[in-house]
Structure 1
Amino acid sequence: MVLTRRAYKSITRWLPNEILSEVVQWVTPPDLVALCQTSHLMKGIATPLLYRAVSLSKISGMKRFITTMERHANDPVSKAEHVRQFCIHQFAPNIPENILQKITLVLSYFSRLTSLQLFSLNNHFPELLRTAHFPSLTDFRCHVLPRLSSSLSSFLNRHQTITDLYLCRIFDDAMPTLDHIHLPNLHTISMPGSFIPCLVHDDTNVVIMCIFWFPDQLDNVEIALPALCRLSSADKHALDAHCDRSHEPWFIGLAAKNMPDVCVLTCHKLGNLAGRVTPNQVV
């Protein structure tokens, strides 16, 4: 349906901005760009939605994004204030050092960021991890590298607002070690089992746990399961375990002994085939 100029004016004149905002939330990014060019009213409504979630995976897109952020840095309401979610995609190519530095600088403008995802296998952000602080950050996800583990621990301890934490190991690297991490507001964790003892358990209330035990860290299972139990003060919680031996009776027995309040236990192999649990293996 194509609106006439008269009908368009009547809609923007009589519909409250709150309703227009709800409608615009269903618009695709290219159409948001088009809406920004129709009127000051629609630009004001569409711009925050256009920049709310940013995902970068190509050098060309990173350059355009950096240029836009820098150009509007001194606006009364800068574009950076609209960004709530920022992601560097894991398939991003090797990013030139000057682009990495500019991305780190631009990120410092995101005062209202709630979700940060650094899933690039080829690029690392040591300066960001050492210095950045996002007061409203609740969701953090990244690949963990041995040479950045200390900076990562420091970054996490500066962001005690985090409720959802996802740490991923890069398989070709040795298993990193982390310093003690205190995140009292944690609700959901997903990480290798060797990281669990690093989490300080005072006043935590983790409810959802997705843990990966790799072949070189199976000895860690008996240490990590009691630590997982201490991370939760809730009556019930769920454990999603990924381990090549998670379907065996010894693992089920350890989980039942050390985590008696688990209400949902899901076991997977690390490969594509899920481990089967027979009735006589359930404790």
Structure 2
Amino acid sequence: MAVLTRSQAAAEGARKSILRFPNEILSMVIEYSSTLELWALCHTSKRLRSIATPMLYRNIHLHSAEQTVLFIRTMQSQPSESSEPLWLRVQEFVIANDNELVGATSQIIDDLNSLVIKMTKLKHLLLSSKGYIDFTHLLRNSNLRCLQTFRYVLHPTPSSTDSEEFLKFLARHRATLTTLHVDCEKPIAFMGSIDLPLLHTYDGPSWVLKFLQKSVASLRSVVLRWKEPDIDYRSPLKQLSKAHSLQTLEIVIANISPGRLREPTILAAVAQYVPHIQILRFSRSNNLYGFSFDDLMPMRQHLSRFTALSELRFAIFRRESVSAVNDDLPILDAWLRVCGTLYLVHLDGLDWRLVDGAWIPSG
């Protein structure tokens, strides 16, 4: 048996090592690593650390003041082996709940705002500003030329400055924004309209649609959220009639009594204005029932107007009496006769799928 010398063993190990590959190949392999795997790679060798570290900071989710301090410190201490600042590597930046950052000093908040402004290659920016962190400086001074997704949770009672900077931010990024999520307790005063020509996904208050104007035409997926005092369901749905590419529509009703806004009534309006949609979902954020079991059969007249509806979901309804699951079958068959494209229906926590012409329950 041949015995390798130390130098021969080292040479043999190097030949079999992943480090024999050039950085370009290593980057392509490491690209598929998880966060934990990237962290481990950063502790293996200087070369792998220089490749893995930038990837480790592609997606940033801040959940505490302590984490924020460490993140800022890391961003500000530029590794000597890195070819560009780490903040230029960040592609997704998320603060899901700014209340979790309570404890961060005003200086830390200022540093955080200034740091995000420098993330010019950012693609996804999701912020919550429900009261603790003021992002006005960020909105006013940032120009993120690659930004595709923007989620902004405004203060429950936003100031006119906050609202104005929010709108100006959207205007500056109109050439790249494709996804917009907005959360605001009360309607804010808009001046003019918002033109986002590439917008294909919207999630937020229904009253925002009337300010999107031409942007509505390119929408493919929409989540409309109704809250008191906003119960005008016809105006936003009429606005969606311009969205000829719309495929998915979800209606979310929050803290509005069924007597003021009911699913069957909204369904009739959806059938009138956007009969070409493929997926329609209803949900409520409370335990109130928007309709009863007896409302299901009369829905045929509305469903007959849809031309491509394949999935219909109702989160909850109330059966007037305890009945077997099979009681749903006559209703589903009646719906299918007037809307032949249906293949998935969700009723009262149960999924019905059309398989070989028969409805099969699951869930």
Q: Report the CA distance between 1:187 and its aligned residue.
A: 0.7
1:93 is aligned, of 77, 98, 101, to 101
- SS of the residue aligned with 2:239? helix
What aligned pairs does 1:90-169 form with structure 2 within 5 A after superposition?
A: 90=97, 91-94=99-102, 95-121=104-130, 122-145=132-155, 146-147=158-159, 148-160=162-174, 161-169=176-184
Query: Any unmatched runs of 5+ in structure 2?
Result: 1-8, 303-363
Quick one: structure 1 residues 62 and 205, their matched pair in 2 at CA, closer, same or farther if it must change by over 3 Å?
same
The equivalent of 2:208 in structure 1 is 195
Which amino acid letter does the alignment assign opposite residue 93 of structure 1?
L
Quick one: structure 1 residues 72 and 228, their matched pair in 2 at CA, closer, same or farther if it must change by over 3 Å?
same
The equivalent of 1:65 in structure 2 is 71
Which amino acid letter does the alignment assign opposite residue 113 of structure 2?
T
Quick one: structure 1 residues 251 and 34, their matched pair in 2 at CA, closer, same or farther if it must change by over 3 Å?
closer
Identify which range, 86-95 or 23-32, moves more after superposition: 23-32
Give the structure-1-normalised TM-score: 0.85
Identify which range, 205-214 or 30-39, moves more after superposition: 30-39
Maintained 8 Å contact 1:247/1:267: no
What aligned pairs does 1:242-257 form with structure 2 within 5 A after superposition?
A: 242-243=252-253, 244=256, 245=258, 247-257=262-272
What aligned pairs does 1:170-181 form with structure 2 within 5 A after superposition?
A: 170=185, 174-179=186-191, 180-181=193-194
Which amino acid letter does the alignment assign opposite residue 226 of structure 1?
K
Higher relative CO (Cα under 8 Å, sequence separation at least 6) belongs to: 1
Identify which range, 91-100 or 5-14, moves more after superposition: 5-14
Quick one: structure 1 residues 233 and 73, their matched pair in 2 at CA, closer, same or farther if it must change by over 3 Å?
farther
List per-residue Cα deviations over 1:164-196 (Å, max 9, x = no partner). 1111124xxx43333421111001100011111
Query: Any unmatched runs of 5+ in structure 1?
Result: none
- Cα distance in 1 for partners of 2:67, 2:87 equals 16
What aligned pairs does 1:206-221 form with structure 2 within 5 A after superposition?
A: 206-218=219-231, 220-221=232-233
Matched-pair identity in %: 25
Structure 2 residue 285 is matched with structure 1 residue 270: yes
- Cα distance in 2 for partners of 1:202, 1:65 equals 36
Quick one: structure 1 residues 47 and 226, their matched pair in 2 at CA, closer, same or farther if it must change by over 3 Å?
same
- Cα distance in 2 for partners of 1:241, 1:8 equals 59
The equivalent of 1:233 in structure 2 is 244
Q: Report the CA distance between 1:31 and its aligned residue.
A: 4.2
Q: Report the CA distance between 1:120 and its aligned residue.
A: 4.2
Q: Report the CA distance between 1:20 and its aligned residue.
A: 3.6
Which amino acid letter does the alignment assign opposite residue 39 of structure 2?
V
Which amino acid letter does the alignment assign opposite residue 87 of structure 1?
V
Q: Report the CA distance between 1:60 and its aligned residue.
A: 1.2
Q: Report the CA distance between 1:61 and its aligned residue.
A: 1.2
The equivalent of 2:360 in structure 1 is none
Q: Report the CA distance between 1:18 and its aligned residue.
A: 5.4
Q: Report the CA distance between 1:155 and its aligned residue.
A: 0.5
- Cα distance in 2 for partners of 1:64, 1:19 equals 31
- Cα distance in 1 for partners of 2:167, 2:262 equals 32
Which amino acid letter does the alignment assign opposite residue 199 of structure 1?
L
Give the structure-2-normalised TM-score: 0.68
Q: Report the CA distance between 1:215 and its aligned residue.
A: 2.8
Maintained 8 Å contact 1:92/1:120: no
Quick one: structure 1 residues 268 and 11, their matched pair in 2 at CA, closer, same or farther if it must change by over 3 Å?
same
What is the aligned length?
Answer: 274
